[in-house]
Amino acid sequence: MEEEFVIEDRVIGKYRGDQPGKLFLCVAGIHGNERTGIIALQRVFASLEEHKPSFAGRMIAVAGNLTAIEENTRYIDIDLNRIWNKEQIDEINKTEFEDLDCNEHREMKALMKQLDTFTFVDTPRNIVFVDLHNTSAAEGMFTFTFEGETNYEVASALHIPVITGLDKSLQGTAVEFFAKRGYCSLAFEGGPLGDPKSIDIHEAGIWMLLEASGCMAKDNIPNYESHKELMQSNTEDSPDVVDLIYVHNIKEEDNFKMNPGYRNFQRIEEGEVLGQDVNGDVKAPHAGYIMMPLYQKQGDEGFFITQDPQGN
Ligand SMILES: [Zn+2]
């Protein structure tokens, strides 16, 4: 992907349908080096504007961490996707913009203000919130969501593994914040960082989600079958639903280094040596599937472990 990538406006696109329906709200680039969601959303809006299909509701997409997007880095001062809790957001909102020392606090204030201008007219259960991400490991895509029939129904339309239990193991994510508000809320990890194929995956997934949210009929979605095939073809060997059971939290001084070669959904054994830190070998505390092994400099988690409902 080209290095030069400037977003002029936090709003990536807005499309108002010809019929009443859901507010389909997307955020991309909460992590600034995860640009494929932004490009995919630009493609979807370009197609909607060109074809003007029948659409129930509205679609709005917003960019997350503008400063980090411009610098193509995960974040500037702190991870913007670990500070979504009510107390912290209230504190940020109370503080004048100029008095916020942390870049991500300023981004949060501006982003929340923008999102609130779109969401205040809808009841929470009329809103579908989708947060687009990439992983630093090769291959593997999946979606995070929460208990609740609508969440599962919409998330499973992606035809990729659904991961639950995020709320128990990882605090302060945007998806959890909006799930608590009562939105149908999911994060969509659409393939590796910077891979052009991840743009296609994100685009295909957005169309699938628009159908599942009742915004569009599949007959009105361009290349519907090929989008669906792309989603299905990538995850043939992956489990349908897994539960997040462990997050390996790290600090900079840990000097954590993941051993090379791990992929999302690779099986690991209990006690397997996954990496090294200042104290020596870092071993897997549980057997299961490894997720999001850290292969980039920035990050507060070294790896995640999930298990399927049978405990495998
Ligand atoms: Zn991310």
Q: How far is the CA of 38 from the centre of ligand 1 (A)?
A: 12
Span 251-259, mean pLDDT? Answer: 96
Domains and CATH numbers, the chain: 11-233 (3.40.630.10), 241-307 (2.40.50.100)
Cα(196) to ligand 1 centroid in Å equals 16
CA angle 243, 75, 192 (to 5 degrees): 50
Give 270-297 pLDDT, tens digit per residue.
999 999 999 999 999 999 999 999 999 9
Q: Name the residue type at position 248.
A: H
Find tokens 């059971």 and name the residue: 245
CA of 301 to the centre of ligand 1 (A): 12
Whether the pLDDT of residue 299 is over 80: the answer is: yes
* One-letter amino acid for residue 130 of the chain: V
Provide, rounded to the nearest whole percent, the portion of the chain with pLDDT above 90: 84
Asked whether the predicted pLDDT for residue 4 surpasses 70, the reply is no
Residues, CB within 5 angstroms of ligand 1 (ion) = 31, 34, 133
pLDDT at res. 173: 96
What residues have CB less than 8 Å from 46, skipping those under 6 apart? none
Residue 108 has pLDDT above 70, yes or no: yes
SS3 (DSSP) at 85: coil
Phi and psi at 28, nearest 5°, equal: -135, 150
Within 10 A of 3 (CB to CB), how many other CB atoms are there?
5
pLDDT over 70, % of the chain? 99
CA of 228 to the centre of ligand 1 (A): 23
Structure tokens at 179: 């799930």
Query: Structure pTM?
Result: 0.93
Helix axis angle, 36-51 relative to 196-212, nearest 10°?
Answer: 50
- The reported pLDDT for the residue numbered 3 is 55
18 Cα to the center of ligand 1, angstroms: 33
Enumerate helices (H) and strands (E) in the chain, giving the number of each: 9, 14
Specify the pLDDT at position 71: 95
- CA dihedral angle for residue 144, residue 147, residue 149, residue 151, rounded to 10 degrees: -30
Asked whether residue 76 carries a pLDDT value surpassing 60, the answer given is: yes
Distances (CA, A) of 241 to 46, 164, 209: 33, 8, 18
112 CB contacts (<8 Å, ≥6 apart)? 89, 92, 93
